Every structure is written in C-alpha cells, then in structure tokens.
Structure 1
Amino acid sequence: MTDHSPAQSPHFEWQYLDLMRRIWEQGDERIDRTGVGTRAIFGTQLRFDLSDGRIPLLTTKRVFWKAAVREMLWFLTGDTNIRPLLEQGVTIWSDWPLAKYRKATGEDIGQEEFEARIVADEAFAKKWGDLGPVYGKQWVDWPTYQYGPDGKYTRGPGINQVAEVVESLRSNPGSRRHIIEGWNVAELDRMALPPCHKTYQFHVAGNRLSCILYQRSCDVALGLPFNLVGATILTRMIAAQTGYEPGELVWMGGDTHLYLNHAHLVAEQLSRTPSGEPRLHLLRQPPSIFDYRIEDFEVRDYAPQGVIRAPVAV
C-alpha cells in the first residue's frame, strides 16, 4: 500500500485508491458467482469526515452522484420496480431484470429497447421490471406475521425501520439500536440480488451523527463509489431530520473485490491523482425524511477527471 503522509497527501480519496491497489496486487484470485472472476480481500474499513458538507465523492473519475441520490430516494419509497428509476434516466438496476427476461423468453433484446418497453408499457413493467423485496422494501415495510386463534399466521403491519430510527434518534440518542437492516433471510430467494450494503448503524456523540455501513460484498470499482454517496446522503438526511450535525461515515467491507475484466479501469484510475474537495448542500428541509426530492441536493466544487467505463458483472 502506498504511503501518503498528511503533509503530502491529505486527500480523503487516497484511502480508496490504496484499497484498490491492495486488492489488485494482493487479493485472492478466484471464480465468483458471475463467472467473471475477482481478486478479493476480506474485512476492510474506510473512514470519511462528513462535517462542513464534505462528501466522499471520487475525483479520479466522474461519479454520477445524482443517480446515487435518485436511487436512495427510490429506496425510501419502498418501491421495488425499476420503472420509476428509468423514467428519471437511472439505468443502474436494469441488468438483473434484463437477464431474467432474456432467459425466460429467449429474446435477445437490447438493454435500451428493454428499458424503453419498461417505461412505455405499465403491464410489461409490472411483469418484468420488479426486483423482488430488495432494499427499500425491507427498509420501510419489513414484513411481520401474526399468529391467529385458528393456528394460522396472517400478514401483519410492515415495520418502517427508517422512521423508527429517526424517532429513536430523537427520543433516545444514546441507544445502540439505531439500525436499518436489509438482510431478511426469509426473503432472500425472492430478491433479484440479495442486499450488498446490508446494515446501517447510527451513533450520536455530542451533536454529531455518524454512520457505519457494513457491506457484505463490494464491487470496489463500480459499486463502492455509489455506495459511499448513498450512505452519505442517507446520513445527511437523517441528521437534518433529527437536529444533528453530520459526523463520520465509516464503511466496512466483507468480501471486497475487483473484477478481473476491470483491469483497464484499475490501471487508469490508479494513474490519476485526486484533487479538490466537493461539498454537499441540502437546500431544503422537508417535513419528513420521505419527502426529499432530487432538487433538494446540490454538490459544489466537484471537478472530477473523466469517466472510466467498465462492464457490470450480473
């Protein structure tokens, strides 16, 4: 791992680049679920200061932060269909339902055509655009079941974990139970993809709210830059709604990997030097965390280097 002393290279992004380099040079190489192959290490941590509007938005390549914000706002609706995302031009979830459609029908449809049909045809979207009970469904409508006098279980009211965390931060900030959990074991087989960024825990120290995100599986090249933005957005919204200043984002990875077909991305990104310090501004505080809109978010002083494209492993 490259040494960057504070006097020479204090930029927040060096820890991300050092993690990328460590995985590529020292990671265990193996065949993964997708068949593409990865190099991976297990058990990693990154820490980012979120005070004064700071956001860990990578500068060594362009990260489309608005797409990450739109995804996070979509999670908070509890929706599991990609149609609302596609209507906003966000295509990051298209690969999984597209692969399912191709396998089921045998039709070699292109991604853009598939996405256009999802947007144009509500019935088609309902059948082929749903991802199952992923992320937001678990966050705001975790299923419960009630035992009846006839000895059978019936569906009970869903649990809104996000609302409960907001309330617990207001009423009992010292609690160690400020957790949003996505890993519902009973419903994993119904999900297009089991949750990767699975557990968020919040912590209050003084007037600062910090977040730990535990990610069981992490695509460092394509996924992690989005995940860091999403976790920052969620932390900032919750902090605003509960009256705290943003503290620190602590990211923890389980299987932390780079795909073997991302070699060109890794080489190019590691050749670049981070610069600048973008700032995230929330322009409005709505009545609840579920009322934010994309127009409420603004990133300033973001001057990234060019996009580096690479395929998504499905």
Structure 2
Amino acid sequence: MARHPEYQYLDILDHLLEKGDRRIDRTGVGTLSMLGAMMRFDLSDGTFPVFTTKRVYWKTAVKEMLWFLTGQTNIRALLQDNVRIWTDWPLAAYSKATGEAITQEEFEARIVEDAEFAAKWGDLGPVYGKQWRRWRDAEGREHDQLQTVIETLKINPTSRRMLFHGWNVPELPQMALPPCHLVYQFHVSGLGDEKARPRLSLMTYVRSNDMFLGNPFNIAQQAALLFMVAQQVDMQPGELVYTSADVHLYLNHVDMARTQLARTPKPFPKLKLLRRPDSIDGYRIEDFEVTGYDPHPPIEAPVAV
C-alpha cells in the first residue's frame, strides 16, 4: 500500500524537531530551521491535499488565494469575507504609529466600517496579487503575469517561461511582508495522448515557510489555483510540486508539532469545481465543493509577526 502523501509534511516537521538549526529570527520568537524541502501531490483524480492530522480551514486558504487573484492589497475585502489572517501586520503598524491601545477586534471593525480609515491603515503595500496581476514597469505600464501564463498555456503549452512571481525588488520596502510563496511555474505533459486531456502541473518555490501555520494553507491554496487554471485551459490537474528554501518551525509551535506528529493521516478529500467562469477572475468560494474531509481536531498556535 502506498504511503500516505501527508507523511511528506510530517517528515519535515520531524526533521525540524530532531535536526533543525536553532536560530534567532526576524520576529524574535526563534525557529528550528533547515534549507530545502520538497513535496509532491498528485491531483489528477480530484485529490485536494488538505492536511488531515489537524483541521485546516481550507475555505479561508482558498478565499485568500481568490483575494490575491483580484490584485487587491487592502485587508478590508478580506475582513468583509471573514478572513482575518493578514490583520496582524497593519494592526502592528497602526499601534506603533499612533500609540493607541486597540484590540484586534476593534481595529478590524473600524477597517470594515470606515472606508477612509481602511484606506489609510488597512493597506499592505504592493503584496502578492498586485505583483501577479498589476506589476508596473519603469514606464508605468501594468503587466498581468497570471493572464499571460494562461494565454501561453493555450497557444504554446511546451513553453518553459510559464511562470509568475512577486519579488519586485524596488517595491519590497513598501510591502508589509515580502512574498514568501515566491514563484509559480507551470508545466504541461501528455500533449501527444489523443485519448486524454493534457495534464497541467504546478511547481511553487517558497523562500521562507512557517511549516506549522503557513504551509498547510499554502498547499491547499496552491492546489486550488492549479484546479482553477487547469479548468480555464481545458486541461486535467496533474501534480502540485512544492519546494521551499528556509523551512522552519517556530519555537512556540514545538509542542503543537509534537501533538500533530502523534496522529495518523486520514484520506485526503476530493475537490470539484461546480462551474466554469468565463475567466480566472470569476471564481467564488461557492464554486469549490470539497467532499470527504474528516480531519483530526484543530491545533491552535500563535502567529509570529
């Protein structure tokens, strides 16, 4: 019997616990770190790699990806959709600038209720989606990297240039957080098979990955993106290949990771897209039907900012 693919993730956690290099990091929390990791997930039968040894809130992960696809950079739209994972950074900036003692809930409520306040304090700078969909060159022209990939997949699917990324060097200082999931590159196989649709695979490169909190979200949302793009270009989802450089476990997540490692993975769920929008911009969370997800209970952990 084949080994459950989730063990790829659990093996990384175990390696970090046993052999990770103990380091002081940007946040001051400290990490156990190593350089280089890879995981591969076969999506061709509709498998949706949402980890099962703890509950992953896959809808939140997919909502974040859909927000990236809009090219927006303000957390107001996320909060209106009950996604709170980006609040920590603008809240920290607001508290530092004003000295005001404000709770996260109060800050989020002001962002949602007051458009002017949101415009001033809710923007993250030119992060992710801005670079993916609205990269501005020196002449002021905007470039939609993702749409270019989709067009290339349709007319030249053997191209080795089908990628998009977010590492826009001049704009890094303006970002609340430089991009962690940095490069997305697509690959098409099976073009000579007349009996089956070509298979679209995606390889991602992550420069810095919080393995306990960030990685399970990343894997789910990257898989969702592959399903969407494959549908848009009439291909079958193939493999999601994850690679990362600085792979780390925060020291205040060590006990949680040990709890997770004591659990046995359950079968991955399946994903079905319920409709095909006219473009990559048309997807909504209601389009994602996930069946068979029966995870172990959630394991809460703090975010390092």
Instruction: Give the TM-score normalised by structure 2.
Output: 0.96
Cα distance in 1, alignment partners of residues 48 and 239 from structure 2: 10
Q: Tell me how far apart the structure 1 counterparts of residues 93 and 226 of structure 2 sit (CA, whole Å).
A: 33
Aligned match of 1:149 = none
Question: Aligned with 1:145: secondary structure?
Answer: coil
Does 2:237 align with 1:246? Answer: yes
**Partner SS state of residue 53, structure 1:** coil
Match of residue 119 from structure 1: 112
Report the counterpart of residue 226 of structure 2 in structure 1.
Answer: 235
1:196 aligns with 2:157: no
Tell me the equivalent position of 1:185: 169
Quote the offset at 1:108 in angstroms: 1.8
Q: Flag structure 2 segments of 5+ consecutive residues without an equivalent.
A: 191-197
Structure 2 residue 41 is the aligned partner of structure 1 residue 57: no
3-state DSSP class of the match of 1:213? strand
Q: Which of 161, 171, 192 is equivalent to 2:155?
A: 171
Alignment of 1:233-312 (within 5 A): 233-312=224-303
Match of 1:150 in 2: none
% of aligned pairs identical?
59
Q: Which residue of 2 aligns with 1:102?
A: 95
Return the alpha-carbon distance in structure 2 between the equivalents of residues 298 and 121 of structure 1. 34
The SS at the match of 1:199 is strand
* Structure 2 counterpart of 1:20, from 9, 13, 20: 13
Whole-Å Cα distance in 2 between the matches of residues 210 and 244 of structure 1?
10
Aligned-residue RMSD, C-alpha? 0.8
Structure 2 match to 1:34? 27
Q: Which residue of 2 aligns with 1:224?
A: 215
| Cα distance between partner residues in 2 of 1:90 and 1:54 | 25
Shift of 1:10: 1.9
Any idea what the Cα deviations from partners look like across 1:255-281, whole Å, max 9, x if unmatched? 000000012211110111111220011
Question: What is aligned with 2:75?
Answer: 82
Letter in 2 for 1:17: L
**How far apart in 1 are the matches of 2:36 and 2:101?**
39
CA–CA distance in structure 2, aligned partners of residues 224 and 78 of structure 1: 22
Q: Deviations over 1:159-212 (max 9, x none)?
A: 000100000000000000000111101100000000000100000001100000
Could you tell me whether the CA contact under 8 Å between 2:51 and 2:268 is conserved in 1?
no
Following TM superposition, by how much is the alpha carbon of 1:81 offset from its aligned partner in structure 2, in angstroms?
Answer: 0.2
Q: Equivalent residue of 2:221, what SS?
A: helix
Q: How is 1:114-153 mapped onto 2 (pairs within 5 angstroms)? A: 114-146=107-139
Residue-pair matches, total: 298
Partner secondary structure for residue 221 of structure 1: coil
Structure 2 residue aligned with 1:152: none
Q: Please tell me the residue identity of whatever aligns with 2:246.
A: D
